[in-house]
Amino acid sequence: MKQSETLHLHGLDVFYDISQYWALLLIPLIRGLSRLGDGFRAWFSGLWLDLAAVGLMLLLGFWRWLKGRLYLTPGRLSYTRGLFFRKESIYRSAHLATLRVKQPLLLRFVRAVVVTPVPIGPIGREKRPMFVSIRNAVKIQNALLPAKGDVWGSYRPVTREVAFFTALHSKAGTGLAVLSVFLSSAGKLLGRNFQAELYGALAKTARFFADKLPPSLILAGGIYLIGYFFSFIKGMLEYHRFTVTRYKDLFWITGGLFPRYTYAIFKRRISSVAVRTRLTTYWMGRFSLLIGVSGYGEKTFLPVLAPFTKGKTLFQLLRKLAPECPPLHCQVKTKKKEAWWGFLRWPILFSAGLLVLMTAVFLLLPDLWQLTLLWGGMGLAWCVWLAVNAVYAMSRTGIGATDEGLILMYGKKRALYRVYLPYDQVIRYSLLQSPGQAKRGLCTVRVWERGSGRKHTVYGLAVEEVQKLGLSARVNEYYKKNRPK
């Protein structure tokens, strides 16, 4: 590329965030209220003022776009923007973790993309994305990213693996949120209330089956299934043609149908490599391979390298995509006899509380015994499932140390993790003891990760065995060996 180059934002940027000039819309609103009862002709005579307000909003957006600039030099991007208050954001290649490029469906028709450079460390929501043409996006990638070089390895999951992964990680709440936005937008365009019509159809279905099942169960089940279905469809679109390619210094991740995306991840900024599974997928012999890095992974999009694969295939992928990761072996395991209460206390307490509540309802409101038995039984079944997950987590909890990093095994939110963190990606670690743990000679280890800002917590470890690992000495030795010359 040229030594220095000035780029313009895409013309679509004129309409982005134009709502910041919403105060101008008070002009047509106040004028309309003042003309109530004066008739259509009186209102129409002042229409030019409304059009002038909207035109001024567009003019301000155009002016803001005209003053926006991207100044590009090798290894550096400067983004200058603002109409009345100028602001400049500088991104240096040496301080970036991820360069994200997304193309939602509507941007395909105008050949535009959204570019987001993500710096090191946990960040908040990007306030001002960069709308640029595809050609300029390629220029930004060439300026900020190192040369790709030879391919070390690549992986694309088959469709059935993606379908299983999406089915197991879909959430009804996410699907209902997507469906609600879609129905609301479609209803506004067509002048109908599709949300009310959907709930009305569910209510009719519940009344039809009322003689066989409780209507509340049918209604709740119908809403859940619809939300789950839309969440599943959203996940399949996100992981469409998902592909990971490893170069010497880069991970290049592409995929998606709505939207399309490209993640260029700096290898040196990856703070953890993790193997993740759930109890159901563990029984199926399937695992997910994840990485921790700023800018990759969102609420419904996990930071995966392999979404859903066999154990044997996963460890082959580890050697191919992340050969720096050592065998994930833990020298210290949890003491089950002493630590079981810490893992099982919440399922036991929830079950006891639910039984007390069910007994009280049976005695005070005997007419509701069927409903109480139904929902109480479902609650108890959920507590049993939590207890089974806790038992598996307890048998797969531990900590290990190598000359290069930490290895952690633990359970969190019904998922089982096995994580590798290099010492230079550990912000802080703590060894904690509650009074109950001190009596039994146990402790809790907490580790804070640099890149994604995650906190890893390992419960129920024997404090003497953890101290024998000599974590502080290992970290000091690592930094002595890797001290910059």
Where is pLDDT greater, at 141 or 484?
141
- Banded pLDDT at 115 (limits 50, 70, 90): very high
The CA distance from 228 to 232, in Å, is 6
The domain spans of the chain are 5-144, 159-238, 335-395
Residue 175 CA to residue 198 CA, distance in Å, equals 14
Report pLDDT digits (tens) over 342-398: 889 899 999 999 999 988 888 888 887 777 887 888 889 999 999 999 999 998 999
pTM: 0.79
Q: What is the mean pLDDT of the chain?
A: 81
The proportion of the chain whose per-residue pLDDT surpasses 70, expressed as a percent, equals: 81
The torsion angle over the Cα atoms of residues 150, 276, 314 and 147, rounded to 10 degrees, is 0
pLDDT tens-digit series, residues 53-80: 777 888 887 888 888 889 999 989 998 8
pLDDT of residue 297: 80
Check whether 404 has a pLDDT greater than 70: yes
In the beta sheet, which residues pair with residue 278?
Answer: 415
Distance CA 5, CA 147 (A): 19
Going 408 to 266 to 254 to 455, the CA torsion angle's sign is positive
Contacts of residue 124, defined as CB under 8 A and 6 or more positions apart, other chains included, come to none
Q: What would the pLDDT profile of 314-323 be if each residue is shown by its tens digit?
A: 888 888 888 8
Is the dihedral angle over the CA atoms 224, 229, 234, 235 positive or is it negative?
Answer: positive
The region of weakest confidence among 15-29, 143-157, 417-431 is 15-29
Four-CA torsion 228, 230, 235, 238, nearest 10 degrees: -170
Kindly indicate the confidence band of residue 183, based on its pLDDT and cuts at 50, 70 and 90: very low
What's the one-letter identity of residue 428?
Answer: R
Does residue 253 carry a pLDDT above 90? Answer: yes
Q: Is the dihedral of CA 206, 208, 209, 212 positive or negative?
A: positive
What is the pLDDT, as a whole number, of residue 484? Answer: 57
Q: Give residues with Cβ within 8 angstroms of 146, minimum separation 6.
A: 93, 249, 250, 266
The confidence score (pLDDT) of residue 167 equals 79
Output the pLDDT for position 341.
87
